[in-house]
A and B are shown apart, each in its own frame.
Chain A
Amino acid sequence: MTSAGARRPTSRGVFAIEEEELLLPDPIALDTSFVVEALIATQPLHVVCRVFLDQIDASGVSITTSDLLSVELAEAAFAIALKERWGSSWRRHRTDGRARRRAGRLLDDTVARYETVLASKDHIPVPVGEVTNGARGFMTAYGLASCDALHAASAVAAGAKAIVTIDTGFAFLPSTALLVYTDRSRVASCRNKRPH
């Protein structure tokens, strides 16, 4: 069994979520990139992430998320509607109202699904305002992007030892700060990014 406490030195605190016997710390933090893949059936990692949500359920561990996650999900829903209508030029049409009806429906659907996921587990939501100092610390110490820093700081604030993500930027943190659980194709990239 692979576990956070008995990991191989070469793991550098990065583990593949496809590993069936991966030990899950309690609580475990979820990042937006993982939730997007799990909720949207047409995403390339949907099945992998959905199966991992099942694994979290089966393990009985609680989850923690930053309140930023629901805002990022809403942004994704809005951008989907724009991109469906305008293709590659979607960024230029943000203020055009013609995609808003579709955006509103998508947003409601996506947020409802997210809340259903949260309701199936004990959940610790972390308000953004309680971790802004910590996020700044992660940005200046390790070069994390602002959103990654907020999610990472929220995870640490809630006592999570690992974050589930498809975003390799979390690997800029040292493994002593946060373990990274990601899909198999990103494991090597994350390990290479870990600071020495």
Chain B
Amino acid sequence: MVSSMESMAKTQTNGRPEPLSPERLAELRRPAKYKTPEEKRAALKRATEGLRVKVRVTPDMYGRR
């Protein structure tokens, strides 16, 4: 599976996606700010609890079909 995907990405140059270089990926990568399991759990709790809205969000509301 992995090898077939790598092969596909490397050989398709006619406009289909290619993986970014390892150097570019290293430039883009941002290390986690929260390191410990406790910090991560607390961050996720803050991020996902309490945001309530009065309507159902459907894909057309962010530009999808």
Q: Residues of A with Cβ closer than 8 Å to B?
A: 4-5, 32-33, 36, 38-44, 46, 50, 53-54, 57, 62, 72-73, 75-76, 79-80, 83-84, 106, 109-110, 113-114, 116-127, 130-131, 133-138, 140-141, 145, 147-148, 152-153, 156-159, 161, 167, 169, 176-177
B18 near A157 (CB under 8 angstroms)?
Answer: yes
Is A80 touching B48 in the complex (CB atoms < 8 A)?
no
Residues of A within 8 A of B8 (CB): 176-177
Chain B residues near A (Cβ < 8 Å): 1-2, 4-5, 8-9, 12, 14-20, 24-25, 28-34, 37, 39-41, 43-44, 46-57, 59, 61-65
Q: Is the CB of B19 within 8 A of A120?
A: no
10 A-B residue pairs with Cβ-Cβ distance under 8 Å, sorted by A, are A33-B59, A36-B57, A40-B57, A41-B49, A42-B53, A113-B46, A119-B43, A161-B1, A161-B5, A167-B59
Knowing A40-B53, A83-B55, A122-B30 touch, does A75 contact B62 (C-beta < 8 A)? yes
Decide if A114 touches B47 in the complex (CB within 8 Å): yes
Q: Is there contact, CB below 8 Å, between A119 and B34? A: yes
Residues on the A chain within 8 Å of B55, using CB = 80, 83-84
Given contacts A41-B52, A120-B32, A137-B16, contact A80 B5 (CB under 8 A): no
A176 touches B4 (CB 8 A): yes
With contacts A80-B53, A134-B18, A159-B25 taken as known, whether A72 is within 8 angstroms of B63 at the C-beta atoms is yes
Q: Using Cβ atoms and an 8 Å threshold, which residues of chain A touch B25?
A: 124, 158-159
15 new A-B contacts, CB < 8 A, other than A145-B65, A147-B64, are: A4-B1, A39-B51, A41-B50, A42-B56, A62-B29, A72-B64, A73-B62, A79-B61, A79-B62, A80-B53, A116-B46, A119-B33, A153-B17, A156-B18, A156-B19
Indicate which residue in A46, A124, A140 contacts B28 across the interface (CB closer than 8 Å): A124
Report the minimum CB–CB distance from B56 to chain A (whole Å).
7
A166 to chain B, nearest CB (A): 8
With A73-B62, A124-B25, A157-B17 known as contacts, the answer to whether A53 contacts B32 (CB < 8 A) is: no
CB contacts (< 8 Å) of A118 on chain B: these are 30
5 interchain residue pairs of minimum CB distance: A134-B17, A137-B16, A137-B15, A79-B61, A119-B33
